[in-house]
Structure 1
């Protein structure tokens, strides 16, 4: 999605579209025997149990959330029979069409939201809201809004009906509603309840950090977040953001020498060298930079082990409402302009949720709002470029919203080593499915027109 590149594994396996099946199939192969199996089991074990009515509703919501990530990546997937090996003996589940899956998503979210009742069972130990039932209702409805917007081109009438129903049922109304997972500042595999942010752990496990790509950098033009989010550090001082207390930020001195030079899509840190310069380090010594020092990175506070993962934000909700208002002319509590500005303001403010994260001042936000109204004819582009920014570090949603909206207008970055000359539109099915669930996966592949990553999932027009 051209937000980051530079580190070899980023460029080789993502930015230049070189097909690596072991990476592409990992979400499918890891999810079904783990989170899918467990959430299906949780729904079934609590179904119809009066003392676990709220727990059941929460599990239904999380079942939709979990399956949505998979179907948005792969298209048609096992759904209605998934996770039933232990209870029903179904070891080769059929593949449901994405259309049927989405229809069930909307039913499940509507019913689960209505089922939640503060007078019934308390669930105080769940991670997101500590049993706050009104917060869970907002989460369910906001998820329903997100998924309804996926259908804006494929089935506009269905999209409009679900958007309006989600809004009327009550979506997020402030940053206090954000659905997030908090993490501890530790990394281990033996105590899952204390595991670090998985994205941060992946970045920090490398001895080379990714760099900000010019597509993302330029999307932040005239935006105060460009300064707060994009920084330069002495690369080997040390490399990992987990060592944030030791890393030296040299951004101010690099900026004093001229504008920052972001990376290019699909390029490694060793390519496109930047002329070096001399700066003074914090200890007073003179230091001649290297090209890698001058290539801008993401603010390391967003990549700490204890950084939260933001599942759905108030900013995303407001920007989706802005899109729906502009696209369909719906009455959703404000004009497209009002939703747009509320969404961007919320995105700027939620950066402070990260430990020692950036705090964008009210004055900076006000200045941005005044200088950046929606422009006639470019409204959907502006709204969805802001979604591209606010979904930072949520790769699944960045990818899904780009496919849904077409914005930002990314220019493909293939090389001679690329498998595809265009940006892939989906992930391919695992080999294990083709070997062990042959009949069912082949039926899905036939509908798709071939199991190729350039094919499009049902809602992607």
Structure 2
């Protein structure tokens, strides 16, 4: 084998010497573009921001969110084990080129809006995972030869994020329809709605800092809600619509996917939906085989059984072998287009505004936005699922059911502030099943809701087994190459220990 490899190298070398003058001619693809365009860069950036992983990796955030549990073997997220962050900024390195390559001033404004939004998203993800991060000096290796950026405080980062979102909204408002957008087809009005709706989400994550005058959380929130465009229906969702083409199918579609047998429904989802007699249960899961064999019907809430995610893996394996548990609904594996995968939905925005109203940030009735959120969630599921027994088990989320169910929510909405916030966040959690990746976890660590079971005996969080970690560790590469700056950030925030249980600034 080594000899064969040696001869292959000799052959390649010989070809290079004899034919170098024709190399470019032979290796030029006549169908490929030779110049990057604003649209090409935009497409790559947007897909990087909005897309999600596939197959097993797709499910990992939802183990942390306690949507599902994994039965292949012990998975860290299921048992609250954290490592280092994997957020990457490479996707936005050349975002500035979208603006430079634009053909008109108005197009340049549109791509400028996308640039600011993309930066805000990436820095948001990074600081939400870690705390203090490089911001003011970040992404300046090529332009200013700054390869070792300082770490800004998390407050400074959030002020920068909010500013970039305002700049994005302004730029889009001065732009025009642009090419290269696989989500909104270049509609700048829809992009403005997304930018401002995402701003509401960022402000809500700053709820513990609502009295900080520099951030002006409540004032910013009120301004956006009363004077700027935001999501108004499911048609505005920040999502990727799937197609039955290779690489564009639903992330957990069965073809080529060897992991479909491992996820099961968690009690955190099943029990809450059963308690509320909520038909979304029949779209999220399948009835337990054991319950059907005992005479229960597929349209009976009692036929659906979750598994407690905090139990030992041996116990979970025993339950799985018994058949007394609910698998995921077939629609997640059997339909190549599946449902659109969301990063931010109208339903979630409704719950964000409901929470803001409950906290007194805005004068709108919290219950009305709460009801809108549940309604939007149910309508999204119904609209994106074939109306067959296989997928709704004779319990469809039709208009009659939805209107009756949502009307009843007003009578049971709590009066106590803390109880209201818990109820809003529980419904936000139920609406985010297998959607929006880590969004529910961020809400949990901020508020403690939903109240998830934690079993110290099975926890992989060895330093604090009664808690779910509140951050990831800094990447090892930072300690290898940007040592002085990352060490200073760790010392400033966590007394010198890069600890997954130490509270970052937004959580204090």
Q: Does 1:135 align with 2:190?
A: yes
Q: Does 1:386 align with 2:427?
A: yes
Q: Which has the higher contact order (CA 8 A, sep 6+)?
A: 1
Hey, what does 2:329 align to over in structure 1? 299
Which whole-Å deviations, capped at 9, do the CAs of 1:39-76 have from their partners, x for residues lacking one? 46646777996541111112211221222122111111
Hey, what does 1:409 align to over in structure 2? 451
CA distance 1:446–1:306, change in 2 (3 Å): farther
Q: Does 1:124 align with 2:182?
A: no
Hey, what does 1:320 align to over in structure 2? 352
The separation in 2 between residues aligned to 1:314 and 1:218, in whole angstroms, is 25
Q: Which moved more, 1:203-212 or 1:378-387?
A: 203-212
Q: Does 1:344 align with 2:400?
A: no
Which whole-Å deviations, capped at 9, do the CAs of 1:7-41 have from their partners, x for residues lacking one? 245x431121234x3xx43x23xx133x2424466
Q: Does 1:178 align with 2:237?
A: yes
The separation in 2 between residues aligned to 1:105 and 1:47, in whole angstroms, is 28
Hey, what does 1:442 align to over in structure 2? 487
CA distance 1:203–1:387, change in 2 (3 Å): farther
The separation in 1 between residues aligned to 2:250 and 2:151, in whole angstroms, is 32
TM-score normalised by the chain length of structure 2: 0.74
Q: Structure 1 regions of 5+ residues with no counterpart?
A: 188-193, 236-249, 276-289
Q: For residues 122-201 of structure 1, what are the structure 2 equivalents within 5 Å?
A: 122-156=177-211, 158-167=216-225, 168-187=227-246, 194-198=247-251
Hey, what does 2:263 align to over in structure 1? 210
CA distance 1:136–1:18, change in 2 (3 Å): closer
Q: Quote the offset at 1:261 in angstroms.
A: 2.4
Q: Does 1:84 align with 2:128?
A: no
Contact 2:310–2:454 (8 Å) recurs in 1: no
CA distance 1:51–1:272, change in 2 (3 Å): closer
Contact 1:5–1:266 (8 Å) recurs in 2: no
Q: For residues 203-282 of structure 1, what are the structure 2 equivalents within 5 Å?
A: 204-206=257-259, 208-220=261-273, 221=275, 222-232=277-287, 253=297, 259-267=303-311, 271-272=315-316
* Structure exhibiting the larger radius of gyration computed from Cα positions: 2
Q: Quote the offset at 1:315 in angstroms.
A: 0.6
Q: For residues 95-114 of structure 1, what are the structure 2 equivalents within 5 Å?
A: 95-114=151-170
CA distance 1:370–1:316, change in 2 (3 Å): same
Q: Which moved more, 1:256-265 or 1:171-180?
A: 256-265
Quote the RMSD (CA, aligned, Å). Answer: 3.2
CA distance 1:7–1:301, change in 2 (3 Å): same
Contact 2:472–2:500 (8 Å) recurs in 1: yes
CA distance 1:339–1:38, change in 2 (3 Å): same
Q: Does 1:18 align with 2:81?
A: yes
2:505 is paired with a residue whose SS is coil
Hey, what does 2:438 align to over in structure 1? 396
Q: Quote the offset at 1:329 in angstroms.
A: 4.9
Which whole-Å deviations, capped at 9, do the CAs of 1:199-224 have from their partners, x for residues lacking one? 66999442632111111222222211
The separation in 1 between residues aligned to 2:238 and 2:452, in whole angstroms, is 29
Which whole-Å deviations, capped at 9, do the CAs of 1:118-150 have from their partners, x for residues lacking one? 7x4431330120011111111110000000111
1:77 is paired with a residue whose SS is coil
Q: Quote the offset at 1:439 in angstroms.
A: 0.9
Contact 2:135–2:151 (8 Å) recurs in 1: yes
The separation in 1 between residues aligned to 2:103 and 2:162, in whole angstroms, is 18
1:306 is paired with a residue whose SS is coil
Q: Structure 2 regions of 5+ residues with no counterpart?
A: 1-64
Which whole-Å deviations, capped at 9, do the CAs of 1:228-248 have from their partners, x for residues lacking one? 21214889xxxxxxxxxxxxx
Contact 2:176–2:188 (8 Å) recurs in 1: no
1:261 is paired with a residue whose SS is coil
CA distance 1:217–1:406, change in 2 (3 Å): same
Q: Quote the offset at 1:321 in angstroms.
A: 0.7
CA distance 1:49–1:315, change in 2 (3 Å): same
Matching residue within 414, 433, 439 for 1:375: 414
TM-score normalised by the chain length of structure 1: 0.81
Q: Does 1:72 align with 2:128?
A: yes
Q: Which moved more, 1:152-161 or 1:44-53?
A: 44-53
2:89 is paired with a residue whose SS is helix
The separation in 2 between residues aligned to 1:301 and 1:443, in whole angstroms, is 49
